[in-house]
Amino acid sequence: MKFRYEAILRVKKYKEDILKEEVATLTRTIDFEEGVLAHIEELIDNSFDEISRLQRGEFLLDEIKKWRNYIIELSEKRKQQKERVDEFKKELDKTMEKLINASIERRTMERLKERAQIMERKKQEVVEQDVLDEIGLSQFLRNANILSFKK
């Protein structure tokens, strides 16, 4: 017997698979964006090192101003990048929640399928037992008839 809600179960599995792919994509995106953030922070650190180096030797005020403006620009990029990473993390959290719910729904449907299969097996066992009982009764009656004729 085919499970009554097989199509629904397939849709639940498909939905769960799509969400798993989305989680994987978001995770890769977050890793990439965090790498970009780390690179920006490295550039900021290197810029501060360059300003320190310039201040120790002969330095031009214009060059230090350029580095300072560059650091300000990088700091703004870092802020934007942190916000971007945070947005992706929030999206990942939402998608993970959807995935958990989809997984629960799929498991529920699978349990229903298992129960339906158990019920079907029990029905088949009852029918088989009825047939066996009928065969046994027929043999008993046939043997009883044979014995009564022998007397």
| List of residues 6+ apart from 30 with CB closer than 8 A | 85, 88, 89, 92
| Nearest-angstrom CA–CA distance, 19 and 142 | 65
Q: State both tokens at 63.
A: 């060059």
| Nearest-angstrom CA–CA distance, 76 and 31 | 20
Q: Who has greater pLDDT, 143 or 109?
A: 109
Domain hosting residue 99, numbered range: 6-113
Q: State both tokens at 40.
A: 């920006």
Q: Is 141 inside a domain boundary?
A: no
Q: How far is Cα of residue 57 from the mean position of the Cα atoms in its chain?
A: 56
Q: Percent of the chain at pLDDT above 70? A: 94
Among residues 117, 120, 102, the alpha carbon closest in space to that of 10 is found at 102
Q: Is the pLDDT of residue 146 over 80?
A: no
Binning pLDDT at 50, 70 and 90, where does residue 9 land? confident
Q: Is the pLDDT of residue 151 over 60?
A: no
Binning pLDDT at 50, 70 and 90, where does residue 31 land? very high
pLDDT tens digit string along 33-82? 999 999 999 999 999 888 888 777 776 788 888 888 999 999 999 999 99
Q: State both tokens at 147.
A: 């014995």
Binning pLDDT at 50, 70 and 90, where does residue 141 land? confident
| Nearest-angstrom CA–CA distance, 143 and 151 | 13
Binning pLDDT at 50, 70 and 90, where does residue 150 land? low
Q: Is 145 inside a domain boundary?
A: no
Binning pLDDT at 50, 70 and 90, where does residue 111 land? very high
SS3 per residue for 70-103: HHHHHHHHHHHHHHHHHHHHHHHHHHHHHHHHHH
Number of domains in the chain: 1
Q: Beta-carbon neighbour count of residue 114 at 10 Å?
A: 11
Q: Beta-carbon neighbour count of residue 65 at 10 Å?
A: 10
Q: What per-residue confidence (pLDDT) applies to 56? A: 79
Out of 1-5, 23-27, 41-45, least confident range: 1-5
| Nearest-angstrom CA–CA distance, 102 and 95 | 10
Q: State both tokens at 8.
A: 């629904």
Q: Is 15 inside a domain boundary?
A: yes
Q: Which residue has the tokens 């046994």?
A: 136
Q: Is 58 inside a domain boundary?
A: yes
Out of 69-78, 88-97, 139-148, least confident range: 139-148
**CATH number of the structural domain spanning residue 61:** 1.10.287
Q: Is 151 inside a domain boundary?
A: no
Q: Is 24 inside a domain boundary?
A: yes
Q: Is 101 inside a domain boundary?
A: yes
